[in-house]
Amino acid sequence: MPDKKTAENALEPMSKIQVKFIVNNKDINVTVPVTYTLLDILRYELKFTGTKEGCGMGECGACTVIMNGELVTACLVLASSLEGKNVITIEGISEMPSAKPIIDSFVKHASVQCGFCTPGMVVASYALLSKYESPTNQQILDGLAGNICRCTGYTKIVEAINEAAVELSKNKKAEVK
């Protein structure tokens, strides 16, 4: 039965894989080693180096991106599970008008020390403010619970998010008028 044979061949262990998915609204089609994660594809194949590799174990959040509407750590998304997914990175967010108040507020409040965690922090803040218009302090802390800053600048980050929330809701009210 030739059909069966094809099916068996399709289930051979692979060392490379072709994946088609979307990054920042662009169709991506890459062939990469199966050991690659979304993070590796972003950085090595697509040169989106804004997404950082911190721990590589899903604990620090430096590689946070939005995948199908939810925050995920790109270092834990295996290439083979990416087919058809819609990914937004810090590069995509930095071009969104609705994210500008967040980025400006991070700058204004100096919510950055070494800067390594910042892209992940901004992505998580963007996701948080997409969910809550004016988040409570607890909601901010919960929303950022997966992002670690080794320079210990959380206070500034929380302040930045609070002010960005105010700015964003002003903009929204202006739009309505």
Backbone φ, ψ for residue 8 (5° rounding): -65, -40
Rg (CA), the chain: 19
Q: How far apart (Å, rounded) are the C-alpha atoms in residues 128 and 105?
A: 15
Shortest Cβ 152–another protein spacing (Å): 14
Span interacting with another protein, options 34-42, 103-111, 156-164, 165-173, rule CB under 8 A? 34-42
Shortest Cβ 124–another protein spacing (Å): 7
Enumerate residues 104-143 that contact another protein by CB under 8 A.
124, 127, 142-143
Q: How far apart (Å, rounded) are the C-alpha atoms in residues 43 and 65?
A: 13
Q: How far apart (Å, rounded) are the C-alpha atoms in residues 143 and 117?
A: 15
Q: How many residues bind another protein (CB under 8 A)?
A: 35
Amino acid (1-letter code) at residue 120: G
Contacts to another protein by CB under 8 A: 7, 11-15, 17, 34-35, 37, 56-59, 61, 64, 67, 70-73, 76-81, 83, 124, 127, 142-143, 145-147
